[in-house]
Copies of this chain bind each other. A is one copy, B any other.
């Protein structure tokens, strides 16, 4: 298992080596992660981003989720979780930072 740390707009980022690893990190996290940013992985026999996001929401129903994909954007409407954001590649770094911030801040504003 390899973890790397980066910093983007002030967010500390943990990068998981695989979907399985991401699920392990979430299970052991005890609330120390604040948001999930996941690629949609379509390799056979692998956990996809859709699976990881559902798992994160079973642990915490209000967990912020951002999906990233270069194709299959329409799948979000049937496979994504509620109150998540889908970013189509390519996107600017500011879009990701704004997406995560909007989801984190939305807990205290009304639709």
Which A residues contact B (CB, under 8 angstroms)?
8-11, 54-55, 57-58, 61-63, 73-74, 76-87, 91-95, 97-106, 108-111
Contacts and interface: CB of A to CB of B under 8 A. Distances in A.
* Smallest CB-CB A-B distances: 9 pairs: A9-B94, A10-B92, A98-B101, A61-B77, A57-B78, A10-B93, A83-B110, A86-B108, A109-B111
Number of identical monomers bound together in the oligomeric complex: 6
DSSP majority for the A interface?
A: helix
25 contacts: A9-B93, A9-B97, A10-B94, A11-B92, A11-B94, A54-B78, A58-B78, A61-B74, A61-B77, A62-B77, A63-B77, A83-B109, A83-B110, A84-B108, A85-B105, A85-B108, A85-B109, A91-B104, A92-B101, A94-B98, A95-B104, A98-B105, A99-B105, A102-B105, A110-B111
B87 A61 contact: no
B99 A87 contact: no
A77 B56 CA distance: 10
